Structure 1
Amino acid sequence: MIQHGDVVDAARLLRGGTFTALTGAGISTDSGIPDYRSPDSPPRNPMTYQQFVGDPDFRRHYWARNHVGWRHVHRTHPNEGHRVLADLEDRGIVRGVITQNVDLLHEDAGSRTVIDLHGRYDSVVCLSCGRTISRAHLAERLDALNPGFIESVLDGGTTVADVEVAPDADAVIARTSHFNPADCEFCGGVLKPEIVYFGENVPRERVERAFALVESADALLVAGTSLTVMSGLRFVRRAAKNGQPVVIVNRGETRGDPLATVKVDAGASETLAALAELL
């Protein structure tokens, strides 16, 4: 049975011990990055790994959109929720953060122990030779291959921030047929963001480190994720199986609600800020 509560109930449960934080897109909405599954989010159809690998047209469309969206995510800043978790780590209360986000805002806020479960938006890998390059370097190459593309998309005074941007640094653009994607400059292979796509598995070593981080703490705090995919839900299941208290903070239902010791139906940033004052 779900135990609905408020931030006072959450603080009472977490006070005096340590916890690991599991975060999702909902913690970054206050930084201007929309999420996929909040009650007010529009429907989306994220590209799958199979589509990206198997269809050059899908890859071109993805890189065109990402080329615009990357500029937006690159300019975002941590919000109060990110800063609170970093501060609680400094105070010895938070053991670390497992994040489903790829925006690096936890690191930017000062969190030291962060497991980027689904990868990082600032790195690109070649699927053939395995070399990695920075997303900033790729941006320079894409600019050279596509002079005037950004201006053609952001016409009429539109800014990058006005273009709909998804949590994986993607953006919604209709006009992508004239975009020229870049191949690996070392071997000519296919370049892919170092991000775990739908249909792709999180590296096992990363999952094991995340399980260890969960088990190193007295409790698990989930913030800003609906836990729709198993990659995050499995940590809630592990904590519940181990008898560790689970606090879930999220607007709307999550798949982990039946396992929650306390569920707070509220926004992540403001709830974390209030929680920190009570701990």
Structure 2
Amino acid sequence: MRMHPGPEETAAGTAEPPAAGLHEVGRLLAGGGVAVLSGAGLSTESGIPDYRGATGRARPRTPMTFQEFTASEDGRRRYWARSHVGWRTIAGAAPNAGHRAVEALRRSGHVTSVITQNVDGLHRAAGTADAVELHGALDRVVCLDCGRTSSRLALDRRLTGLNPGFRDTGSRINPDGDVELPDALVHGFRVAPCAVCSGVLKPDVVFFGESVPKDRVQRCFDLVDAARALLVLGSSLTVMSGLRFVRHAARTGKPVAIVNQGATRGDEFAAATVAAPLGETLAALAAELG
């Protein structure tokens, strides 16, 4: 059940402080053995918007699908042109207080594993090197023909050489690391092939319409099974990719807590929900637990 009412649930019509939920989250963490499942809401304080939270509501945009990307050269050109401009924001983003708090809790033994739905690499940048990146990472590129994985930084340099000045165009960054660009600009963009086999390059992320590798999914289930509890941070759990782990934890009798600015599809499975800023809340919890 939910540990605190939302604003519409209070008798006086004002929001009740989430003290009960925070107490329960702190209690779960104090017991150790907690697996973390993080989402886009954890990275908004690093300047990366989300799709469905407060920063994402104004962007009713459909991201690139795997089918679009693989179907045509025009689709790939559109993706890489927009992503090339947006990459500077992703590459320049730094871990925020929330990422650092998760790493502090991991070092102290309260958190035993981290699964992230984010592709920004900020958990790694905060020191959580073994975080399972469920949907991959934008700082890696994979060739769909030969399977070779390479650095996004190296590709960025090649794209810059092929498209001088293109980086200075564009507008607001989107959650998947690209921007909206006029069709006229996209049309003239030159795409770099694989440096080894001249095949098709794709960011090493799971696009919409693409499946997460089965071994990676199983790894996440194993981490949830090995944990005593599951803590969800900054995810609306709208897609089954993350929600399945919450359902699995609840089905196996493990307590679930959720810290997110807004309701989630997993609230019904949670012993505690907290609607509060992620960075501030997690930093306070980490400090309290030492």
- Band the TM-score falls in, shorter-chain normalisation: over 0.9
8 A Cα contact 1:224 1:267, kept in partner? no
2:78 maps to which residue?
A: 61
CA distance in structure 1 between the partners assigned to 2:32 and 2:154 by the alignment: 43
2:51 maps to which residue?
A: 36
1:17 maps to which residue?
A: 32
CA distance in structure 1 between the partners assigned to 2:248 and 2:178 by the alignment: 32
1:98 maps to which residue?
A: 115
SS at the partner of 2:268?
helix
8 A Cα contact 2:114 2:131, kept in partner? yes
CA distance in structure 1 between the partners assigned to 2:172 and 2:73 by the alignment: 23
Percent identity reads 54
Give matches, 1:107-256, under 5 Å: 107-151=124-168, 153=169, 163-174=171-182, 175-256=185-266
CA distance in structure 2 between the partners assigned to 1:130 and 1:240 by the alignment: 37
8 A Cα contact 1:69 1:169, kept in partner? yes
AA of the residue aligned to 2:86 = G
Deviation, 1:113, is 2.6
Give unmatched runs, 5+ long, in structure 2.
5-19
SS at the partner of 1:74?
helix
Choose the corresponding residue for 1:27, options 32, 37, 42: 42
SS at the partner of 2:262?
coil
Deviation, 1:171, is 1.8
2:21 maps to which residue?
A: 6
8 A Cα contact 1:103 1:121, kept in partner? yes
Q: Which has the higher contact order (CA 8 A, sep 6+)?
A: 1
SS at the partner of 2:27?
helix
CA distance in structure 1 between the partners assigned to 2:192 and 2:129 by the alignment: 33
SS at the partner of 2:187?
coil
Deviation, 1:164, is 1.4
The number of residues matched between the two structures is 270
Give unmatched runs, 5+ long, in structure 1.
155-162
AA of the residue aligned to 1:171 = V
User: Higher mean Cα deviation, 229-238 or 171-180?
Assistant: 171-180
Given the two structures, how large is their TM-score scaled by the length of structure 1? Answer: 0.92
SS at the partner of 1:6?
helix
1:204-252 Cα distance to aligned partner (Å, 9 max, x none): 1111111111111111000001011111111101110111110001111
1:159 maps to which residue?
A: none
8 A Cα contact 1:20 1:95, kept in partner? yes
8 A Cα contact 1:95 1:113, kept in partner? no
CA distance in structure 1 between the partners assigned to 2:38 and 2:80 by the alignment: 26
2:12 maps to which residue?
A: none
CA distance in structure 2 between the partners assigned to 1:242 and 1:248 by the alignment: 17
Given the two structures, how large is their TM-score scaled by the length of structure 2? Answer: 0.89
8 A Cα contact 1:221 1:247, kept in partner? yes
SS at the partner of 1:120?
strand
AA of the residue aligned to 1:17 = G
Matched, 1:274 2:284: yes
CA distance in structure 2 between the partners assigned to 1:230 and 1:248 by the alignment: 16
CA distance in structure 1 between the partners assigned to 2:257 and 2:250 by the alignment: 11
Deviation, 1:63, is 0.2
1:52 maps to which residue?
A: 69
8 A Cα contact 1:21 1:223, kept in partner? yes
Deviation, 1:27, is 0.4
Deviation, 1:40, is 4.1
AA of the residue aligned to 1:62 = Y
8 A Cα contact 2:63 2:176, kept in partner? no
Please tell me the root mean square deviation across aligned C-alpha atoms, in Å. Answer: 1.4
